[in-house]
Structure 1
Amino acid sequence: MQAWLSAVTDPQATGFDLPGWLEGPLQAFFPYKGVVLGHGELVAGQLKVTHMLASGHEADYLQQIAKTFELSQRGSLQWWFANRQPFFIDPKNPPPYASAFEIEEIETFALRNVAGHGVLNVKANAGTYFGFAGVKTPLSPWHLEALRLLAPVLNDLFLSHIAQTEKSAMSIEGSSVAIGELTPREKDIVRHLVGGMSNKAIAQTLGISEKTVRNQLAGIYAHLAVRGRSELIVLLK
């Protein structure tokens, strides 16, 4: 109970950091190895992921996640859209709705036990989805009940994170500094940085190494003639 109370009250703190919360209070309440948060829309059986945030996953796994795909490719996600109930997958004894593609993915990237849930806006045919990998055994009804409790909290936090990131993006694009001369990848990194994300969180979200983020930031700082993160944020806000 204490872990749950910490998980739901921490977001109310000043200076809340979503990636930090995922790896701190949330992980203490619901132990896992990696998590992917996605927001997208379903059109004619095809799912388009518009926003994604990840924690605890290797870059090679994140890089292979398609941003647009047929829903039928991922049977568990298709089942979730139809039933709007939390689920878990034990690759040694998978549920009938888990697709061969998903099982192969779980085994290839050593994701182990996977659990998922989310919040669906039926009228808009869009929603947020949260997939946890490396969920500790034994899998039980507790995991499903925990996901029911977590879904609305995660949904609110993720949507707020998206809104803040987009606000930062608008601020950056409207800035008079030479942001237009940056590459698309450099702009992505700057948007996430101004949105409050750490180098590690940026790397996991973009599916690149933390070293790449550091190297890109060094080039950005030099290009914009700032000495570091704090000066860059002040310059762009």
Structure 2
Amino acid sequence: MAQDLEWFAIAEYCRAGVYGFVDEHASCDQIVSAISAASRKDLYVASSITCKLASSSVLDFRRIFANMDLGSTDISKLSERELETLKLVAKGMSNKAIAQSLFISEKTVKNHLYNVYKKLGVRDRTQAAIAVIKTLCSHQNESFGPI
């Protein structure tokens, strides 16, 4: 995957049906994880790409996601654990990695995500991650710099 991906490009690729993003230095395990996630239509973004994208400005996020219909973006409906899970999804982590990070089973992660989807009115983890980013960006001041 190209080094200079931007959130806009990822959003466009997702609309076209691409769900896995790795860089040219990806390990075999990362590539397998990306393919596995993509086959389930789950978003996988390598942490190296996520770090680069995190430097994008709030204005870029607003421009990209402002008109996307993602159901309710009221994350106040989420339990603390559901929000923790969703934040890790937004970082591009797999269910297995989330489970290990939170010391819970993958089944519990899936249950949390099911509840998140239902509460936010979204269909999948990609839309849920975008919804939380959209919500966080809408609470920022216009003059706030890069995330």
Q: TM-score, normalised by structure 1?
A: 0.29
Higher relative contact order (CA 8 A, sep 6+): 2
The structure with the greater share of residues assigned to strand is 1
Larger Rg: 1
The structure with the greater share of residues assigned to helix is 2
Q: TM-score, normalised by structure 2?
A: 0.44
